[in-house]
Structure 1
């Protein structure tokens, strides 16, 4: 669930916002809606009828802030980030506060602030003009299995370019779901490379750097030693891929204690094939090929292994996901072609053996 509050800025400026063609879509509803969220909505709805606040859609706030462009960022605190924007429908410069679900301050404090400001008005108090609590992007259904694999495959290709094509090579360092932007056709675009580092040079295998990134996505060896490698990005990719498959956040404090950390929750399920379906997002409604799910989980499990050396290269991940994303007919054609090649090679090998023995 995305949670935002909008505050009016008293002084108008020349700040302008152009409409962005990108929308930051989520991977579906995350977890259960907490009771105090519903209570907050009911209370604010009452104040809305008194013209104290209104409900904004996620799309409106995304347009207002250029899809939460870092250039629109005006502050950051325990609750999350604050962006400056312009909402055309009300002709108003606003400050948009976005709740960071992984931040130091909890949901209740954020909701308490929104609730309090929705009930008071004074010239020396910031005025709450509205809020947004969208579970899904407007008019969108939860992503189906094909779209999820397409997103994962495209994101992996983006990492592959940074690792293997860019010169010098680049390590992303902060690969996470919120840094993947999607267009209307679900083509992913990696964004926010502010923490990216140039890869090791001079025969070195890692880059030593201050530990930065987002909790839950950082590879264990990087967290412990500050030694950053391309395999660190592979771990982060595995976490995101598991989020895509399961529809869960990597850290979700609204869930039962044993389910709050996605990696810890999934670890025992990876060991029991009969539990694989329990990892899949319930919003998929079981509409996915079982074999495809098993293969996807195998890829994710390899990427999030504790030991960096046991993780695959991102190029291998791309190859596996490209196959996974193929339509069934293409997969059959690929298998048939591969079998034919193997048959030809075995025949050639047999002929050569006969000639050697002659």
Structure 2
């Protein structure tokens, strides 16, 4: 998503608040995109449920944490799909640091804050929608990460 060779790194919060379409239906497992029976009170303007949007937001956060694109066919087999490849690395702090964007590591970012962000990504990427956090919870965690040193990407 962010190409470090051509793009300045931005403050995570200014990046996340820019007007963009945060709905990424192509990244969501197809069995979760059927919305004709969806509770209309729990859908966004794009027609997807809020919990599906949270999955997509988790993908964006993972791209920020790793500095990698969500899909890159130039990566070796097994590493082309960032979500599938990265999830096992996010479960403990030592492994998470192995896939963390090197620029985050060199910008005096807090390892604890980065790990907290990794844990949030895992929650957002839960396969069962009812296991994903609310946007209020996500905001609280991002605020905590900001206060504890994850300020730039």
Asked if these proteins are the same fold (TM beyond 0.5), I'd say: yes
Per the normalisation by structure 1, the TM-score is 0.35
Could you tell me which residue of structure 1 aligns to residue 41 of structure 2?
none
Please report the RMSD computed on the Cα atoms of aligned residues, expressed in angstroms.
2.5
Which has the larger strand fraction?
1
Could you tell me which residue of structure 2 aligns to residue 307 of structure 1?
128
Alpha carbons of structure 1 residues 307 and 327: separation in structure 2 relative to 1, 3 Å: closer
Could you tell me which residue of structure 2 aligns to residue 297 of structure 1?
118
Alpha carbons of structure 1 residues 327 and 307: separation in structure 2 relative to 1, 3 Å: closer
Could you tell me which residue of structure 2 aligns to residue 270 of structure 1?
90
Find the partner of 2:26 among 215, 232, 237.
Answer: 215
Per the normalisation by structure 2, the TM-score is 0.76
Q: Following TM superposition, by how much is the alpha carbon of 1:290 offset from its aligned partner in structure 2, in angstroms?
A: 0.7
**Unmatched 5+ stretches in structure 1:** 1-25, 30-134, 156-187, 197-212, 329-358
CA–CA distance in structure 1, aligned partners of residues 124 and 26 of structure 2: 17
CA–CA distance in structure 1, aligned partners of residues 94 and 21 of structure 2: 38
Could you tell me which residue of structure 2 aligns to residue 243 of structure 1?
63
Q: Following TM superposition, by how much is the alpha carbon of 1:220 offset from its aligned partner in structure 2, in angstroms?
A: 5.3
Residue 62 of structure 2 contacts residue 121 of structure 2 at CA under 8 Å; is this kept in 1?
Answer: yes
CA–CA distance in structure 1, aligned partners of residues 135 and 83 of structure 2: 20
Q: Following TM superposition, by how much is the alpha carbon of 1:254 offset from its aligned partner in structure 2, in angstroms?
A: 1.0
After TM superposition, the structure 1 = structure 2 runs for residues 181-196 of structure 1, keeping only pairs within 5 Å, are 188-192=17-21
CA–CA distance in structure 2, aligned partners of residues 272 and 327 of structure 1: 18
Q: How many residues align?
A: 137
CA–CA distance in structure 2, aligned partners of residues 295 and 243 of structure 1: 15
**Unmatched 5+ stretches in structure 2:** 39-47
Higher relative contact order (CA 8 A, sep 6+): 2
Which has the larger helix fraction?
2
Residue 235 of structure 1 contacts residue 304 of structure 1 at CA under 8 Å; is this kept in 2?
Answer: yes
CA–CA distance in structure 2, aligned partners of residues 230 and 214 of structure 1: 12
Residue 219 of structure 1 contacts residue 236 of structure 1 at CA under 8 Å; is this kept in 2?
Answer: no
Alpha carbons of structure 1 residues 271 and 233: separation in structure 2 relative to 1, 3 Å: same
